[in-house]
Amino acid sequence: MTVTIVGSQLGDEGKGGIVDLYGDSADVVVRYQGGDNAGHTVVHGDETYKLSLVPSGAVRGKTGVLGNGCVVNPETLFEEVDALAERGLDPDVRVAERAHVILPYHRVLDGIEEAEKEDLAAGTTGRGIGPTYEDKAGRRGIRVGDLLDADVLRQRLEYVVPQKRALYSEVFGGDPDDPELDGAFDVETLFERYRTYGERIAEEGMAVDCGAFLDDRLEAGDDVMMEGAQGTSIDIDHGIYPYVTSSNPTAGGASTGTGLGPTVVGQGEVVGIVKAYLSRVGTGPLPTEMGHVEGQTPEDGGDTSDEAEEIATYIRDEGGEYGTVTGRPRRVGWLDMPMLRHAARANGFTGLAVNHLDVLAGLDPVKVGHAYEMDGEERRSMPATTEQWGRCTATYREFDGWEAVDWAAVAEEGYDALPENARTFLEYISDELDTPIYAVGVGPGRDETVVVENPF
């Protein structure tokens, strides 16, 4: 069977940890969208693994597959595979021949467009994700399969690179031959470098026809976990466009991004990963936001009262909500139920994992954005345009808080050992979404998750 893990909010809900937890029972872990814009954390005792591309199951010796819906930067792929090997693991990673390749010019163009867009910039990760998906849709992309055939690779590069040079110089006014670009717009340099990646992929037997590969494994009785990256509200179709990523993290992406039919995915389980509050890296509105982060919170956004700023700082400190690279504070807000109702519908969740319950401990009351008010009317789900969403104000429900306890002990004892007020909060979420709770995260470690149900 399959179990699909989907972020139900804005990314960083703790998907990596849940994939690790349930992945124990899986044989194959496949990513179906996105690329090295993800950052999935797996904590095993004292060891912390941060993976941006390789599926989290690689940490447990599972076969990891990058599905056809992914965009693959081979440089990151090999860096991560080699880094895992250096830590004593032997990662078995496969890549779909149909997956598109991120080239250096995609990264360069991602950065420039973000700078040009000003207010419409999403605050991308700068990994070239959007430009690569653009080329995929524009039928000028280069796929993993193309790296394995020198003639095809050269032909594709000779077609596309002159276009990218013209875009870079004539639209954005840059010099494509600037030595600082390290050959990002040079056919020969790209050919040599990407041909070498292709040879390594071939030598290590990494290239697969993803759908056929997974189907064979399922036929043989194996269990497959689908690891979503990003989250529903930054999905290109169902998210807060244009402040979104360029792929479909939602459950439908698990079918198109792997080559397994929707009935196969639908016969399995779809587990929504929920953070007990909101965190956001990037721009755009956020109705339940507390405090204000320079450069990301819109000018009129965020509750900037002293109390809200104080709670925001508390959540950031307790939850480590600071950029891993930049150390910049992340935007934070109360849990947003209209966002979750939207996610539950778009994904058809069969179960929920609610993470970071420990982070809210010590706050009293704990608030939840129960509904929105927009233009004088109540709304229970997200509106379809981001402009409308920006006009929504949240109406809150308050829950009595809970204190920090020995979370590892609670995780061992089980659900009933959770503080009563925390259970009330969880049951509210479950009732509102009409979806059972499968797991509750009470800390980053593997032993800090209360398991109610294993979907496998």
Beta strands in 258-306 (DSSP E): 269-275, 277-280, 289-290
In DSSP notation, 324-357 reads TTT-PBPEEEEEEHHHHHHHHHHHT-SEEEEE-T
**Is 336 in contact with 288 (CB distance < 8 Å)?**
yes
Among 4, 56, 68, 124, binds ligand IMO (CB under 6 A): 124
With respect to ligand GDP, which residue has the nearer C-beta, 12 or 186?
12
Among 21, 167, 214, 442, binds ligand GDP (CB under 6 A): 442
Which token pair is 302?
Answer: 């965020």
Among 24, 117, 123, 454, binds ligand IMO (CB under 6 A): 123
> What does the alpha-carbon distance between residue 293 and residue 197 come to, in Å, rounded to a whole number?
40
> What does the alpha-carbon distance between residue 279 and residue 274 come to, in Å, rounded to a whole number?
11
Query: Mask 26-55, x = binds ligand IMO (CB under 6 A)?
Result: -----------xxxx---------------
Does the annotation mark 238 as catalytic? no
Among 160, 276, 281, 332, binds ligand IMO (CB under 6 A): 281
Does the annotation mark 44 as catalytic? no
With respect to ligand GDP, which residue has the nearer C-beta, 77 or 208?
77
37 binds, among ligand IMO, ligand GDP, Mg ion, none (CB under 5 to 8 A by kind): ligand IMO
Which token pair is 198?
Answer: 């292709």
Based on its alpha-carbon atoms, the radius of gyration of the chain, rounded to whole angstroms, reads: 22
Nearest to 67 by CA among 107, 34, 18, 21: 34
211 binds, among ligand GDP, Mg ion, ligand IMO, none (CB under 5 to 8 A by kind): none
> What does the alpha-carbon distance between residue 158 and residue 333 come to, in Å, rounded to a whole number?
48
> What does the alpha-carbon distance between residue 188 and residue 316 come to, in Å, rounded to a whole number?
47
Residue 56 binding ligand IMO, by CB under 6 A:
no
> What does the alpha-carbon distance between residue 235 and residue 241 come to, in Å, rounded to a whole number?
8
**Is 262 in contact with 214 (CB distance < 8 Å)?**
no
Query: Mask 8-47, x = binds Mg ion (CB under 5 A)?
Result: ----x--------------------------x--------
CB contact set of 190 (below 8 Å; sequence gap of 6+): 103, 104, 157, 161, 183, 184
Which uninterrupted H or E stretch holds 381? none
Residue 12 binding ligand IMO, by CB under 6 A:
yes
Quick check: bond before 365 cis, omega within 30?
A: yes
234 binds, among Mg ion, ligand GDP, ligand IMO, none (CB under 5 to 8 A by kind): ligand IMO
Of the residues 20, 40, 110, 186, which is catalytic?
40
Query: Mask 303-332, x = binds ligand GDP (CB under 6 A)?
Result: ----------------xx------------
Q: Which of residues 82-101 bind ligand IMO (CB under 6 A)?
A: none
Smallest gap from Cβ 302 to ligand GDP, in A, equals: 21
Among 94, 106, 107, 127, binds ligand IMO (CB under 6 A): 127
> What does the alpha-carbon distance between residue 4 and residue 255 come to, in Å, rounded to a whole number?
10
> What does the alpha-carbon distance between residue 297 and residue 145 come to, in Å, rounded to a whole number?
41
245 binds, among ligand GDP, Mg ion, ligand IMO, none (CB under 5 to 8 A by kind): ligand IMO
Smallest gap from Cβ 18 to ligand GDP, in A, equals: 8
Which residue ranges make up the site for ligand GDP (CB under 6 A)? 7, 11-17, 39-41, 43, 319-320, 355-356, 358-359, 441-444
Q: Which residues are catalytically annotated? A: 12, 40
Which residue ranges make up the site for ligand IMO (CB under 6 A)? 7, 11-12, 37-40, 122-125, 127, 129-130, 229-231, 234, 243, 245-246, 281-282
